[in-house]
Chain A
Amino acid sequence: MLTSIMEQLINGLRTGSIYALIALGYTMVYGIAKMINFAHGDIIMVGAYTLYIGIALLHLPVLPAMLLTAVVCSVLGMLIEKIAYKPLRKAPPLAVLITAIGMSYFLQSVALLIFSSTPIPFKSVIEVEGIQVGTVNISGITIVTLAVTTVIMVGLTLFINRTKAGSAMRAVSEDRGAAELMGINVNRTISMTFAIGSALAAVAGILYICQYQSLRPTLGALPGIKAFVAAVLGGIGSVPGAMLGGIMLGLIESLSKAYISTELADAIVFGVLVVVLLVRPSGLLGKKKLVKV
């Protein structure tokens, strides 16, 4: 029993940390550009296909293929912002939202045209031996996932809180106009945020596809929407909130699947969201709106 609970918790941590990586992209973009980038989930899909192209078609070694994935996703993220969202900087939020949803379908359709809807099998490129702690088995991919996401989260937190570019991002997120008066190039900061968020989605895509080992044009939709829920649960706009929300979501999902019902797991996850938002409308770590004096 204890072994089984431990294993479920570790599974939950693994999925949760992937959600957290994706949620970071949603939350950072929301913080800076004040929009929900619904195409974010599909960046995961593009990442997964890019890794596939790099490894199976271009026969690249694993690390360069991963690097290629991160670069392709970052550039794509910046391009999407520049082409689809930037012209709408002053448009009503609804227009931006519709555009983001459209962009999501666009990316899926392009993938459908190129790769068709038949799932492509993909063998994990992460070959790390699993370990056994007592009676608990921890798979290699779990170890890699947890290690990678921990490093990324620590690195990102340091970047945002300790560097000049990070402070500039926080300043833009709080008051775009005042940030401009400081000499911060707001457009470039937004572009950088999309690049970072998309690179995180690329990493999530790599980890995700090594876990699920099957490529479909819609593969980003479900982790995308779950991660969005995680970002809202943690408090959209809050970086620690996205991390907390992602991991909580993973744990709840994994435990519900194991001990309550596989079919009900998603309902439970969204149920938790509803309850949290009823009690704390701005999410677990979300900032309360400051009253302007």
Chain B
Amino acid sequence: MSILKVTDMTVNYGVIQAVKGISFEVEQGEIVALIGANGAGKTTTLHTVTGMIPAKSGSIQFYGTDITKVPAHRIVSMGLAHVPEGRRVFAQLTVLENLKMGAYTRKDKDGIEKSLEEIYKRFPRLEERKSQLAGTLSGGEQQMLAMGRALMSKPKMIVMDEPSMGLSPLYVSEIFKIIQDINESGTTVLLVEQNAKKALSIANKAYVLETGNIVLSGDAKELMNDDSVKKAYLSE
């Protein structure tokens, strides 16, 4: 069943059309990758899906509900969490406060405690540093915090924007392993990455964006062997 269905979505940034009528679907339990060069419209697409910027036309459906015009602050309680580009943890808040902000819309105290334990189990380093200000964490730790924060909302689906950006190679591998783990524990993932090789290696399905259009889509493993993809995005 496809849980996210984007149809003919166009998005304008001022006078520039950043996304030019794209359609894509994400099915329950999948990891779907959106790959493409800088400025292809990947981040804009994610921002529009989670209500941060309005779509000019087209529709976005999440579990059958039209969310095209739903404001960002109401999206997360519908089960769709967003790990933003550049992590954007609250630097002046502690690690624990950041995680609790992730559960802002939840009312079940016991459930929140349980989620917190699960996240500490997944990211032991966050527990070690729970009373530290988030701004003092390393880039990789901040990425883990941003993911943990999104997981605190107990999302059905999580969108991640460039989670490996600016991280050391060691952390990059770890982050991709974590994404797979999160997916295996039942959360659907929509992933935007410039590291196309890594993204395709963990994804089920992928869409290739070029200047606001989807130019290619299909099974991730097949795309990895596609000559044009190889040439444009996988060159070493």
A183 & B86 in contact (Cβ 8 Å cutoff):
no
Contact status A180-B73, CB under 8 Å: yes
Q: Is A119 located at the chain interface by the 8 A CB criterion?
A: no
In the complex, A167→B82 CA distance in Å? 19
How many chain A residues touch B (Cβ–Cβ < 8 Å)?
Answer: 21
Q: Are B91 and A174 in contact (CB-based, < 8 A)?
A: yes
Find out whether the CB atom of A168 lies under 8 angstroms from the CB atom of B104: yes
Nearest CB of chain A from residue B144's CB, rounded to whole Å:
15
User: Is there an interface contact between A183 and B166, defined as CB atoms closer than 8 Å?
Assistant: no
**Nearest CB of chain B from residue A89's CB, rounded to whole Å:** 13
Contacts A177-B52, A178-B88, A179-B101 known; list 16 others, CB within 8 Å: A167-B97, A167-B101, A170-B90, A170-B93, A171-B93, A171-B101, A174-B93, A177-B72, A179-B90, A181-B52, A181-B150, A182-B76, A182-B153, A183-B105, A287-B92, A293-B86
Q: Which partner residue on chain A sits nearest B72 by CB separation?
A: A180
Interface of A is mostly: helix
Interface residue? B100 (CB, 8 A)? yes
> With a CB–CB cut-off of 8 A, which chain B residues contact A174?
90-93
| Top 5 A-B residue pairs of the complex, sorted by shortest distance between their CB atoms | A183-B105, A178-B88, A183-B76, A180-B72, A182-B104
Contact A290 B100 (CB under 8 A): no
B93 & A181 in contact (Cβ 8 Å cutoff): no
A186 an interface residue at 8 Å Cβ cutoff?
Answer: yes
> Is the pair A170, B92 in contact by a Cβ cutoff of 8 Å?
yes
CB under 8 Å from chain B, chain A span 242-293: 287, 290, 292-293
Partner pick for A181 among B82, B100, B139, CB 8 A cutoff: B82
Do B93 and A164 have beta carbons less than 8 Å apart? Answer: no
A185 at the interface (CB under 8 A from B): yes
Distance (whole angstroms) from the CB of B47 to the closest CB of chain A: 9
Q: Is the CB of A183 within 8 A of B77?
A: yes
Q: Known contacts A170-B92, A290-B135, A292-B86; is A183 also within 8 Å of B74 by CB?
A: yes
| Smallest Cβ-Cβ distance to B89: which chain A residue | A178
Please tell me if A184 contacts chain B, counting CB pairs below 8 Å. Answer: yes
B226 to chain A minimum Cβ distance, whole angstroms, is 33
